[in-house]
Structure 1
């Protein structure tokens, strides 16, 4: 695919949303595959109300919201940038509405494409302070999660996802160096990282930290882990748990995985009481 040529053709037809009106499959393939090949979005995303010529949100994106975790520390204005916070809260709302039913495959793909294009196009935080790193961790976790729930479509997303994971690790390392009180968000961040990095050199980085996270929170098995993941952000899809659970079962299944030195470390750092 000559991406620049395709982009010009799309522009001549009025933008990716105009193409979608007459050929939805073509629009989905062009926007998705061009992003994977170039490793960054080639088309813009519309705003929350469907304004613009870019990739549109799905109808559920605009439905009336349920109560969200407004008091969650990680969604505060001083911690999370406005774009990431908005996407997170709207995804919470969408997932709550569809978890009792299901999203058709094309609707799920449209949601994943919209969210990933929106977040990858957002200006990343340039600061190296803790709030900026937390915000970037959430942003890259959301992008990774949408790749995970969507799965490979049209063309492998392995290369772009590895790029995302590499950036993700940089900011997680910043959090770990400055912020060592673990909670549900920290479990969620690492759970997504484990799955996103599966089969790559980065996997061991996440796996080696799983034990510390679990020990610090006195987690005893997958049920404890899942309760925390679900409390943050979770989409019920077929085989969803089966993608996440084996990574934690392996950690919990290692004989004596909660080592005395691990527990002593957590106690000395004030991670458990």
Structure 2
């Protein structure tokens, strides 16, 4: 309540007290072992209240823990969504980031089905996974020692992964809008480096821009930046319809049905901007995945 009221002094006092209680209980991971819902709630409140993605006041300690599916040879591939498409490493994404994004994709797919048909215990398990992967992505964003050599690529993927998880949860309390705005601006900055290094003809860039543009609502000035760059990307990739866009989003980067409406509205804005600028559309070519543009020249 104090977060939404903007009562910063009292908010800081509450956060310090809550952090102390968690420490007395043995840490957030210990609380999760006995009551995952309480741990999820505490993590969410502290993460949103701090309003700075890089300054998590409490963590589970999951950063250095591998995902369970990595030890199972039947599930350890980095293929996206339905197991029949692209390995994110082909686009120059470093392995650690690609692993976390694959987990985001897996949880996104489960989230949609469990929200509609799952039990409370299943929903709690998915929520625990989402909190854990958010912690990993936010903490990984602090470091760059093992990143891709392509400027901005790994950081853009991590920030977009955060937004993909965060945005569908934006109606929860406390209100995470300020945190989302910070992530959108960080993503815009990172994408500026990426576009400057490799250009705009990339299906991975298509997804990164769609995720950022989707979160940047119409009242944010960043929305027009994402729309403008999407006009360039879809033109360069010779994409003409929403069905084509959705096909690439699903195949490449764990886009699920939950985002169909908001992503579709963003596509309508892109088409309107394209028409208003009277952009010449190149002839349709045979479908070819563009990933060589995300590899530095040797």
Q: Is the 8 A contact 1:144 1:196 kept in 2?
A: yes
Paired with 2:105 and 2:147, the residues of 1 have a C-alpha distance of: 28
Note if 1:222 corresponds to 2:242: yes
Note if 1:124 corresponds to 2:143: yes
Q: 1:43 aligns with which of 58, 66, 72?
A: 58
Q: 1:169 aligns with which of 173, 184, 188?
A: 188
1:261–1:159: structure 2 CA closer, same or farther, 3 Å change rule? same
Paired with 2:248 and 2:255, the residues of 1 have a C-alpha distance of: 13
How do residues 196-211 of structure 1 correspond to structure 2 at under 5 angstroms? Answer: 196-198=215-217, 199-211=219-231
Paired with 2:148 and 2:131, the residues of 1 have a C-alpha distance of: 30
1:43–1:62: structure 2 CA closer, same or farther, 3 Å change rule? farther
Paired with 2:130 and 2:199, the residues of 1 have a C-alpha distance of: 31
Q: Does the residue aligned with 1:25 lie in a helix, a strand or coil?
A: helix
Paired with 1:221 and 1:4, the residues of 2 have a C-alpha distance of: 51
CA drift at 1:231 = 1.0
Match of 1:115 in 2: 133
Q: 1:140 aligns with which of 159, 162, 180?
A: 159
1:26–1:211: structure 2 CA closer, same or farther, 3 Å change rule? same
**Could you tell me the TM-score, scaled by structure 2's length?**
0.72
CA offset digits 1:159-186 (Å, max 9, x no partner) = 1111111111111111121211522211
Note if 1:232 corresponds to 2:232: no
1:72–1:25: structure 2 CA closer, same or farther, 3 Å change rule? closer
Note if 1:13 corresponds to 2:19: no
Paired with 1:47 and 1:255, the residues of 2 have a C-alpha distance of: 43
Would you say how many aligned residue pairs link Structure 1 and Structure 2? Answer: 256
Q: Is the 8 A contact 1:149 1:237 kept in 2?
A: no
Paired with 2:93 and 2:203, the residues of 1 have a C-alpha distance of: 16
**Structure 2 segments unaligned to the other structure (5+ residues):** 1-10, 283-289, 291-298
Runs of 4+ off more than 6 Å: 48-51, 59-63, 126-129
How do residues 49-88 of structure 1 correspond to structure 2 at under 5 angstroms? Answer: 65=75, 67-69=77-79, 74-75=88-89, 79-88=92-101
Q: Does the residue aligned with 1:117 lie in a helix, a strand or coil?
A: helix
Paired with 2:28 and 2:42, the residues of 1 have a C-alpha distance of: 9
Paired with 1:149 and 1:218, the residues of 2 have a C-alpha distance of: 29
Q: Is the 8 A contact 1:112 1:146 kept in 2?
A: yes
CA drift at 1:17 = 2.6
Q: Is the 8 A contact 2:239 2:245 kept in 1?
A: yes
Paired with 2:134 and 2:44, the residues of 1 have a C-alpha distance of: 10
CA drift at 1:82 = 4.4
Paired with 1:254 and 1:192, the residues of 2 have a C-alpha distance of: 18
Question: More displaced, 137-146 or 103-112?
Answer: 103-112
Q: Is the 8 A contact 2:184 2:212 kept in 1?
A: yes
Match of 1:54 in 2: none
Paired with 2:19 and 2:71, the residues of 1 have a C-alpha distance of: 28
Match of 2:286 in 1: none
